Homo-oligomer: A and B are copies of this chain.
Amino acid sequence: MRIGELSRQTGVAVPTIKYYVREGLLPAGRLTSPNQASYDDTHARRLRLIRGLMDVGGLSVSAVREVLAAVDSTEKSVHKVLGAAQEAITPPSVGEPAGLAEARRTVAELVRRRGWRVEPDNVTAAESLAVALATFQGIGHGAIEEVLDDYADACERIAATDLAFVGRNAEVDTLVESVVVATVLGDAVLSAMRRLAHVDASARRYDEGAHDASGGPEPVH
């Protein structure tokens, strides 16, 4: 198809498509004349992936480039490719909040206590977690350590669901892409859903007089 048709199919403007080609995110089309290139469904699919990672996942152009490099890698170990993809989609930590050393110990202790097969020193997510914990403590709203095991219970359940979902639905050659999509867009899904659950929990706790806004029957807890 021509670039105009690719634009119509994906909702991405033609100059934006050209920009992604220049930035190395999207393979160039096959030249059919000196001034015209032809695109196919793999381009449309890749474009939807790029837009999803940017618009919903909030990734930058350079983060998307790293993610796609992991997706397109020919490395054979699934576990290693998943690790590389995950490093690419984990935002780098900014700054070193006070209390970071203690927060790192808290994370290492959590990993040990849960029996997670993770080397905290080598995983960006462990450092992100330590930075978030130290920042939380610095703002001074109580000891977030109290909630870590409840969060870990929930995350173990979510991770088991995620891996089963990815393993069930993906062809082997799109496994890494599936993991990236499930991780980045899954964060957006979980963040939005947690906020909905907060509204519900707040209504139950602080708005006792109101009727059930969903119109459904009162659930039993």
Binding site for B on A (CB under 8 A): 11, 45, 48-49, 51-52, 55-56, 58, 77-79, 82-83, 86, 90-91, 94-95, 97-98, 111-112, 114-119, 123, 125-126, 128-129, 131-133, 135-136, 138-144, 146-147, 150-163, 165-170, 174, 177-179, 181-183, 185-207, 210, 212-219
- Min CB distance, A159 to chain B, in Å? 4
- Min CB distance, A212 to chain B, in Å? 6
How distant is the Cα of A97 from the Cα of B123 in the complex, in angstroms?
A: 33
Contact of A199 among B83, B135, B206 (CB under 8 A): B83
Q: Contacts A140-B45, A201-B160 given: A126-B196 contact, CB under 8 Å?
A: yes
Contact of A159 among B126, B181, B191, B198 (CB under 8 A): B198
How distant is the Cα of A123 from the Cα of B86 in the complex, in angstroms?
A: 31
Contact of A216 among B56, B115, B190, B213 (CB under 8 A): B115
Q: Contacts A181-B136, A191-B187 given: A199-B78 contact, CB under 8 Å?
A: no
Q: Are the CB atoms of A163 and B195 closer together than 8 Å? A: no
- Min CB distance, A34 to chain B, in Å? 33
| A51: chain B residues within 8 A (beta carbon) | 95, 135
Q: Are the CB atoms of B95 and A141 closer together than 8 Å? A: no
Q: Are the CB atoms of B165 and A158 closer together than 8 Å? A: no
Name the CB-closest residue of B to A127: B192
Q: Are the CB atoms of B190 and A11 closer together than 8 Å? A: no
Q: Are the CB atoms of B214 and A116 closer together than 8 Å? A: yes
| A202: chain B residues within 8 A (beta carbon) | 78-79, 82-83, 163
How distant is the Cα of A97 from the Cα of B10 in the complex, in angstroms?
A: 9
| A174: chain B residues within 8 A (beta carbon) | 141
